[in-house]
Amino acid sequence: MKLRDLLILSLSSLVLVSCVRGVSTNQSNESPIAMNASVPISSTQVQPLDRSLQSQESTVMKSGMFVSGEHSTQGAVHITNKDGKFFLELEQSFKTSESGPDLVVILHRSDNVINSTKPPSYPLKKEDYIILAPLQKYSGAQTYAISNKINLADYKSVAIWCRKFNATFGTANLSQ
């Protein structure tokens, strides 16, 4: 009788541990959007572009390559014009660190954000940037609409910025 009870207890424990491990694995694979779903988007920010619009022809207005700041950030970025509307596009080569909460994509007035601020966090001043939207994902191609109210001539770079800790993960100087 004791052997039977021990066998049942062992089997139950094995099933329970397997279930918990499966739930933990599923939770750790959530996208950054799901984890940051509670981040409000103000009226000056815009929603990510509808994928159906991405097939239209576009003209590259400005482009740049990311350099690392607080955390490793790399890849190419473009500002494009599609039928009179502007978009910021991170290419498939884009990648940044997953260690920051509340990451956003911003346009910055400086053409050299990293050298115009101090390490290690490279903090920003509120009047020097405008937030486009929360970062959709830590790597890969993604597109953000730019409001017609934004004068692109005022902004010379793009940055991935941690709003919570005022830390600049990486920046890309935009050139024509």
Q: What is the reported pTM?
A: 0.67
Each of the 176 residues of the chain gets a pLDDT tens digit; together they read 676 665 665 655 544 444 434 433 333 333 343 333 333 343 344 444 444 444 457 899 999 999 999 999 999 999 999 999 999 999 999 999 998 899 999 999 998 888 877 877 788 888 899 999 999 999 999 999 999 999 999 999 999 999 999 999 999 999 98
| Runs of H (alpha helix) within the chain | 2-28, 32-35
Q: Which residues contact 60 (CB under 8 A, 6 or more apart)?
A: 78, 79, 80
Q: How far is CA 157 from CA 36, 78, 90, 105, 166, in A?
A: 24, 10, 13, 11, 17
Give 79-91 as a DSSP string.
EEEETTEEEEEE-
CA distance 9 to 12: 5
Domain ranges of the chain: 2-30, 51-173
